């Protein structure tokens, strides 16, 4: 397991996050894990762990959190926020972290908008696949694959 050296972390990171609208209660997290257990992304990606992102943020691991690709995996479904017993709005926290990652130069500004666009495209493809399963006679597999290919070709 990787060692965390607290003295090298940024003690202000958690306050910078908590000062943003929507993240006021994020330090109330008591690591129950309900967010991670209910997250559809964590279910398919074992690296993605909302509880861990909150813990790392509270511990001041600014660079590790803001430079992580995992910030961009959240599908913003709000399940975690709805179920958190401590009223932590993790979906809002993720948006704040993304914003900070851009402002602090960890990622290109365009990525914020692209991430929102990508969420829409993914939901659209998801609905089309479900529809394809329910109505295979419509035979729209080629169109779905084309939509997927177009998205994969879009630069971030
Ligand atoms: S559900 Fe809430 S309290 Fe529990 S780990 Fe997640 S953020 Fe923390
Ligand atoms: S909002 Fe993000 S972190 Fe929360 S449950 Fe949905 S995908 Fe997971």
- pLDDT, tens digit, 9 for 90 and up, residues 1-45: 667 777 789 999 999 999 999 999 999 999 999 999 999 999 999
CB 90 within 8 A of CB 36: no
Query: How far is the C-alpha of 114 from the C-alpha of 37, rounded, in Å?
Result: 27
65's enclosing H/E stretch is helix 62-66
Q: Which residues sit with their C-beta closer than 6 Å to ligand 2?
A: 38-41, 50, 74-80, 90-91
Query: How far is the C-alpha of 118 from the C-alpha of 39, rounded, in Å?
Result: 18
Same domain? For 66 and 141 the reply is no
Instruction: Specify the residue with its C-alpha closest to ligand 1, atom 3.
Output: 29
| Residue 121: partners with Cβ closer than 8 Å, 6 or more residues away | 147, 151
Q: Percentages helix, strand, coil for the chain, rounded to the nearest 5?
A: 65, 0, 35
What's the CATH number where 91 sits? 1.10.1060.10
pLDDT per position as a tens digit, 135-153? 999 889 999 999 999 999 9
Same domain? For 117 and 97 the reply is no
pLDDT per position as a tens digit, 80-113? 999 999 999 999 999 999 999 999 999 999 999 9
Same domain? For 62 and 97 the reply is yes
Indicate if the pLDDT at residue 124 is higher than 90: yes
pLDDT score recorded for residue 1? 62
Domain extent, residue 149, equals 110-153
Instruction: Specify the residue with its C-alpha closest to ligand 1, atom 8.
Output: 29
Say which ligand is closest to the CA of 87.
1
The CB density around residue 35, as the number of other CB atoms within 10 Å, is 26
Residue 128 included in any domain: yes
Say which ligand is closest to the CA of 35.
1
CA dihedral 56, 23, 21, 110 (to 10 degrees): 40
Query: How far is the C-alpha of 34 from the C-alpha of 120, rounded, in Å?
Result: 26
């Amino acid at each position: 397991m990787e060692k965390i050296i607290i003295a090298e972390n940024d003690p202000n990171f958690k306050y910078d996050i908590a000062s943003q609208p929507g993240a006021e209660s994020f330090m109330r997290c008591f690591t129950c894990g309900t967010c991670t257990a209910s997250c559809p992304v964590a279910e398919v990606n074992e690296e993605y762990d909302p509880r861990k992102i909150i813990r790392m943020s509270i511990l001041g691991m600014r660079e590790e959190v803001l430079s992580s690709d995992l910030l961009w995996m959240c599908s913003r479904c709000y399940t975690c926020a709805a179920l958190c017993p401590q009223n932590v709005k993790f979906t809002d926290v993720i948006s704040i972290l993304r914003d900070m990652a851009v402002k602090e130069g960890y990622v290109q500004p365009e990525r914020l908008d692209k991430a929102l666009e990508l969420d829409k495209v993914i939901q659209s493809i998801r609905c089309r696949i479900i529809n394809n399963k329910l109505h295979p006679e419509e035979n729209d597999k080629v169109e779905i694959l084309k939509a997927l290919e177009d998205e994969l070709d879009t630069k971030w």
